[in-house]
Amino acid sequence: MFRNKRWLLITNLVIVVVLVATACAPTEVTPPAAPTDTPAPGEPPPPAEPPEPTAREIKNPNTGIYATYGEPESLDPSYEYDTASYSQIFNVYETLVWWEREAYDKYVPVLAEEMPEISDDGMTWNFKVREGIKFHEGGDLTPEDIAYSFWRTMIQDRAGGPSWVVLEPLTGYYAIEDIAEEMGDEAACEFVKSSVTFDNDAMTVTINLPAPFGPFMDILASGWGVAMDKSWVEDLGGWDGDCANWRDYHDPEDVESVLYNVMNGTGPYKFDHWTPGEELAYVRNDDYWLTEPLWEGGPSGPAAVERIVWKIVDEWGTRYAMFEAGDADKVMVDMQYATQADELVKEQWDATDESDPSKMTILNEDGIAKSFVNLGSVGTADVFFNFGVETEGGNDYIGSGEWDGQGIPPDFFSDIHVRKAFNHCFDIETYVEEAYLGEALRRSGPVIEGMVGHDPDLVDMWEYDLAKCEEEFKLAWDGQVWENGFFFVITYNSGNDQRRTAAEVIEAGVESVNPNFSIGVLDVPWPTYLQLMVRGRLPLFIIGWHEDYHHPHNWVFPYMHSQGTFSSWQRFPQELYDKYDAGIAECLATPLEEAAACYEGLQAMAMEDVIDIFMVQPSLRHYMQDWVQGYYFNAAYPSPAWGYRFSKGYE
Q: What is the rounded distance in angstroms from the CA atom of residue 546 to the CA atom of residue 539? A: 22
Determine how many CB atoms are found less than 10 A away from the CB of residue 363: 16
Q: Please give the average per-residue pLDDT across 17-37, as a whole number.
A: 35
Residue 415 lies in a domain: yes
Residue 331 lies in a domain: yes
Q: Is 627 a residue whose pLDDT tops 70?
A: yes
CB of 63 within 8 A of CB of 243?
Answer: no
CATH number of the domain at 84, please: 3.40.190.10
- How would residue 602 be classed by pLDDT, with cut points 50, 70 and 90? very high
Same domain, 580 and 632: no
Same domain, 519 and 567: yes
Last residue within a domain, chosen from 197, 222, 256: 256
Residue 42 has a pLDDT of 53
Last residue within a domain, chosen from 211, 227, 256: 256
pLDDT in tens, 539-553: 999 999 989 889 999
Residue 30 has a pLDDT of 35
CATH number of the domain at 387, please: 3.10.105.10
Residue 41 lies in a domain: no
- How would residue 43 be classed by pLDDT, with cut points 50, 70 and 90? low
Q: Please give the average per-residue pLDDT across 577-599, as a whole number.
A: 95
pLDDT in tens, 48-72: 554 444 578 999 999 999 999 988 9
Residue 102 has a pLDDT of 85
pLDDT in tens, 341-381: 999 999 999 999 999 999 999 999 999 999 999 998 889 99
DSSP state of 438: T
pLDDT in tens, 460-517: 999 999 999 999 999 999 999 999 999 999 999 999 999 999 999 999 999 999 999 9
Tell me the average pLDDT of the chain. 90
Higher pLDDT, 602 or 45: 602
Q: Is 140 a residue whose pLDDT tops 90?
A: yes
Q: Is 536 a residue whose pLDDT tops 60?
A: yes
Q: Where are the alpha helices (DSSP H) in 184-228?
A: 185-194, 216-221
- Number of structural domains (the chain) is 3
Give the largest Cα separation in the chain, rounded. Answer: 105
- How would residue 47 be classed by pLDDT, with cut points 50, 70 and 90? low
Residue 46 has a pLDDT of 55
Residue type for 290, please? L
Q: Please give the average per-residue pLDDT across 170-193, as a whole number.
A: 97
Q: Is 37 a residue whose pLDDT tops 50?
A: no
Residue 45 lies in a domain: no
Same domain, 515 and 392: yes
Same domain, 234 and 109: yes
Residue 297 has a pLDDT of 86
pLDDT in tens, 512-534: 999 999 999 999 998 899 999 99
Residue 12 has a pLDDT of 36
Same domain, 403 and 499: yes
Residue 29 has a pLDDT of 33
Same domain, 523 and 467: yes
pLDDT in tens, 222-274: 888 899 999 999 999 999 999 999 999 999 988 899 999 999 999 999 999 99
Strand partners, 458: none
Residue 54 has a pLDDT of 55
- How would residue 14 be classed by pLDDT, with cut points 50, 70 and 90? very low
pLDDT in tens, 319-342: 999 999 999 999 999 988 999 999
Q: 163-171 vs 143-156: helix axis angle to the nearest 10?
A: 110
Same domain, 338 and 390: no
Q: Is 173 a residue whose pLDDT tops 50?
A: yes
Among 318, 307, 320, 306, which residue's Cα sits nearest to residue 278?
318
CB of 605 within 8 A of CB of 580?
Answer: yes
Higher pLDDT, 29 or 410: 410
Is the pTM higher than 0.85? The answer reads no
Among 550, 372, 567, 352, which residue's Cα sits nearest to residue 454?
550
Last residue within a domain, chosen from 229, 256, 283: 256
Strand partners, 612: 384
Long-range contacts of the stretch 433-436 (C-beta < 8 A, 24+): 434/336, 434/501, 434/505, 435/334, 435/335, 435/336, 435/497, 435/498, 435/501, 435/502, 435/616, 436/335, 436/336, 436/498, 436/616, 436/618, 436/619
Same domain, 600 and 488: yes
Write the CB contacts of 184 (distance below 8 Å, at least 6 apart in sequence). none
**CA 100 to chain CA mean position, Å:** 19
Same domain, 529 and 587: yes
Residue 40 lies in a domain: no
Q: What is the rounded distance in angstroms from the CA atom of residue 246 to the CA atom of residue 189? A: 7
Exposed/middle/buried for residue 42 (C-beta within 10 Å: 0-12, 13-18, 19+): exposed
Q: Please give the average per-residue pLDDT across 391-411, as a whole number.
A: 97
Which DSSP helix (H) or strand (E) runs through 199? strand 196-199
Same domain, 368 and 400: no
pLDDT in tens, 79-138: 998 888 988 998 899 999 999 988 888 999 999 999 999 999 999 999 999 999 999 999
Q: Is 21 a residue whose pLDDT tops 50?
A: no
Among 425, 466, 427, 460, which residue's Cα sits nearest to residue 443?
460
Residue 15 has a pLDDT of 34
Residue 56 has a pLDDT of 87
Which residues span the domain enclosing 61? 1-31+56-92+267-375+622-651
Residue 19 has a pLDDT of 32
CB of 542 within 8 A of CB of 383?
Answer: yes
Residue 160 has a pLDDT of 85
Same domain, 358 and 390: no
Residue 255 has a pLDDT of 87
Same domain, 522 and 566: yes
